[in-house]
Chain A
């Protein structure tokens, strides 16, 4: 006799809460939008050298190389743009993974997807001497896909039952291999090691608009795929057999989601290095306001995730003056307690 129960969906609310009305959901969405706007402003204004809001306004609308405007124009705008895109990508990819994988504990970092992308990028830089983001972004996609396939094969096939923790363990093991190999590769090329130290922590500092422009099209495609897939997510979350009996095309949803996550996680990692926990935290944080409807969770994630990353970046700028703490480190410090709280709340390792 085994003690594992067959897979069931975690999409149903575990507490008896009144499900949110349409009106409150729209209201919440507007609040998220406002939050995003506020964090954008903060990102443009706050930093080791704070810039006043009127200056920000001028820099955006009528730029002259006067006073502090250059900080906004040359440094903060690109940084904010990259953070927006990367946050969006991470939030959506994490939501998709949790929905399609029926795994509330996962995101692209924990499952080793970011590590795979990072490894391939490091190899491209070290062995092939590639330097432009336009070139190594393709390696990031390849790496993300590679890692995802590995995690699927190790964590979700075979006779042992598929539980969230088993997939997590597979992700951890694969991330460890990727990180280890990446490490060894870096040590071989000391200059690469030096350059990549900062990137490894997940840093938004020093990202140019070129980076934003490079990752934007792929993220756009990823977002479009999310829209296409969104409607079938609620059905897919019920489990394969039930979903199929309700007319959902599970294979199609999974395939499209796979492509979407590859593009989103790959682009995000290529743009700013591996940043974790954004994709993990956001779906859980917004679920209190959206209920279990994945379409709404995606919609909220589109606004909340970039806001979260921007907030983390701003915090990193001011927390240890005059130095800056990379955003990836801040998200880890924020996300780890959330993960611990999540697991203490759950009763058992249900699939």
Chain B
């Protein structure tokens, strides 16, 4: 945290990416206001909250897709909005919620576009590019699909291809905007396991907006719970996810038990009389 009167921005040694008094809004409507948060390096952070609480907005603000109306986003000690876009893209990757696969594009072609931040006019396909794309496709298990058209793939396969695009970017920080939408349960777990592996093996910092609380508890080292544009709680899952917090943020009465597999909190919604009456 910077002190009053301290005009130089220092980089905290464990937080390359942070928001300071960040406010973002559209058309006079404020979505998040005066929000400050540090993203812990080398950790998985999950942002959770009810619909329209501003979690996607926060992520997109961190990813520089949205311009703040107040405050700053700091990356490696510099204001992210003042940095060169390609430079940012070499350090920060984002998996957006909606992307468009151009018509008739093959998997390999699409993944190779993830190398854009590293390419120059005269350096369009270096050996590094080749290796990075090959690695990305291996990590997401889409190598056999390399020549197939993206249009022809299933939802799960397509999402893996988009993850490969982000991986090809080779960024130390990766932001994920609701990556598990459109996926069935097996693929959701597969995807989150992949990012857990990338975090452990390459020490990549991962920030993900997740709508499933139990996923967040299982995979995240740090949870940021938001409501109405403000951070309600922040910290280790077992500290943050309590029955009181879930009720306060989501309006849902629940019971919290320990996940039998991982020991992290598991949210079990209280059953309404109509449901228990069926048994």
Chain A directly contacts chain B within the complex, with at least one CB pair under 8 Å: yes
Interface SS of chain A: loop
Bound-state CA distance A1–B151 (Å) is 8
Q: Is B127 an interface residue (CB 8 A)?
A: no
Q: Is A2 an interface residue (CB 8 A)?
A: yes
B98 contacts which chain A residues (CB < 8 A)?
A: 1, 3
Contact with B along A311-328 (1 / 0, CB 8 A): 000000000000000000
CB-based nearest A residue for B162: A1
The minimal Cβ–Cβ distance linking A100 to chain B, given in whole angstroms, is: 29
B155 contacts which chain A residues (CB < 8 A)?
A: 1
A3 contacts which chain B residues (CB < 8 A)?
A: 98-100
The minimal Cβ–Cβ distance linking B98 to chain A, given in whole angstroms, is: 5
Bound-state CA distance A3–B182 (Å) is 13
B99 contacts which chain A residues (CB < 8 A)?
A: 1, 3
The minimal Cβ–Cβ distance linking A160 to chain B, given in whole angstroms, is: 8
Bound-state CA distance A1–B97 (Å) is 9
The minimal Cβ–Cβ distance linking A220 to chain B, given in whole angstroms, is: 47
- Near A by CB (< 8 A), chain B positions 125-182 give 155, 158-159, 162, 182
Bound-state CA distance A2–B102 (Å) is 9
The minimal Cβ–Cβ distance linking A53 to chain B, given in whole angstroms, is: 51
The minimal Cβ–Cβ distance linking A344 to chain B, given in whole angstroms, is: 14
Q: Is B232 an interface residue (CB 8 A)?
A: no
Bound-state CA distance A298–B103 (Å) is 40
The minimal Cβ–Cβ distance linking A326 to chain B, given in whole angstroms, is: 41
- Near A by CB (< 8 A), chain B positions 87-103 give 98-101
The minimal Cβ–Cβ distance linking B113 to chain A, given in whole angstroms, is: 15
Bound-state CA distance A1–B182 (Å) is 10
- Near B by CB (< 8 A), chain A positions 1-44 give 1-3
Q: Between A and B, how many residue pairs show CB distances below 8 Å?
A: 14
Interface SS of chain B: loop
A1 contacts which chain B residues (CB < 8 A)?
A: 98-101, 155, 158-159, 162, 182
B101 contacts which chain A residues (CB < 8 A)?
A: 1-2
B100 contacts which chain A residues (CB < 8 A)?
A: 1-3
- Near A by CB (< 8 A), chain B positions 62-117 give 98-101
Contact with B along A80-111 (1 / 0, CB 8 A): 00000000000000000000000000000000
B182 contacts which chain A residues (CB < 8 A)?
A: 1
The minimal Cβ–Cβ distance linking A284 to chain B, given in whole angstroms, is: 23
Bound-state CA distance A1–B161 (Å) is 10
The minimal Cβ–Cβ distance linking A341 to chain B, given in whole angstroms, is: 18
Contact with A along B168-202 (1 / 0, CB 8 A): 00000000000000100000000000000000000
A2 contacts which chain B residues (CB < 8 A)?
A: 100-101
CB-based nearest A residue for B181: A1
B162 contacts which chain A residues (CB < 8 A)?
A: 1
The minimal Cβ–Cβ distance linking A347 to chain B, given in whole angstroms, is: 11
The minimal Cβ–Cβ distance linking A162 to chain B, given in whole angstroms, is: 16
Bound-state CA distance A2–B150 (Å) is 11
Bound-state CA distance A253–B268 (Å) is 51
Bound-state CA distance A2–B155 (Å) is 11
Bound-state CA distance A76–B98 (Å) is 59
Bound-state CA distance A1–B105 (Å) is 12
Bound-state CA distance A232–B166 (Å) is 49
B158 contacts which chain A residues (CB < 8 A)?
A: 1
The minimal Cβ–Cβ distance linking A3 to chain B, given in whole angstroms, is: 5
Bound-state CA distance A50–B158 (Å) is 71
Bound-state CA distance A1–B162 (Å) is 9
The minimal Cβ–Cβ distance linking A169 to chain B, given in whole angstroms, is: 15
CB-based nearest A residue for B159: A1
Bound-state CA distance A3–B100 (Å) is 6
The minimal Cβ–Cβ distance linking A239 to chain B, given in whole angstroms, is: 22
Bound-state CA distance A177–B248 (Å) is 62
Bound-state CA distance A2–B98 (Å) is 7
The minimal Cβ–Cβ distance linking B97 to chain A, given in whole angstroms, is: 9
The minimal Cβ–Cβ distance linking A163 to chain B, given in whole angstroms, is: 14
Bound-state CA distance A72–B101 (Å) is 64
Bound-state CA distance A2–B162 (Å) is 12
CB-based nearest A residue for B96: A1
Bound-state CA distance A298–B107 (Å) is 50
Bound-state CA distance A2–B97 (Å) is 11
CB-based nearest B residue for A160: B103
Contact with B along A145-160 (1 / 0, CB 8 A): 0000000000000000
B159 contacts which chain A residues (CB < 8 A)?
A: 1
Bound-state CA distance A1–B155 (Å) is 7
The minimal Cβ–Cβ distance linking A106 to chain B, given in whole angstroms, is: 25
CB-based nearest B residue for A159: B151
The minimal Cβ–Cβ distance linking A83 to chain B, given in whole angstroms, is: 43
- Report 14 cross-chain contacts, Cβ distance below 8 Å, ordered by A residue: A1-B98, A1-B99, A1-B100, A1-B101, A1-B155, A1-B158, A1-B159, A1-B162, A1-B182, A2-B100, A2-B101, A3-B98, A3-B99, A3-B100
Residues in B lying within 8 Å of A, measured CB to CB:
98-101, 155, 158-159, 162, 182
- Given A1-B98, A1-B158, A3-B99, 5 more A-B residue pairs with CB atoms under 8 Å apart are A1-B99, A1-B159, A1-B162, A2-B100, A3-B100
Residues in A lying within 8 Å of B, measured CB to CB:
1-3
Q: What are the 3 closest A-B residue pairs judged by CB atoms, nearest first?
A: A3-B98, A3-B100, A1-B99
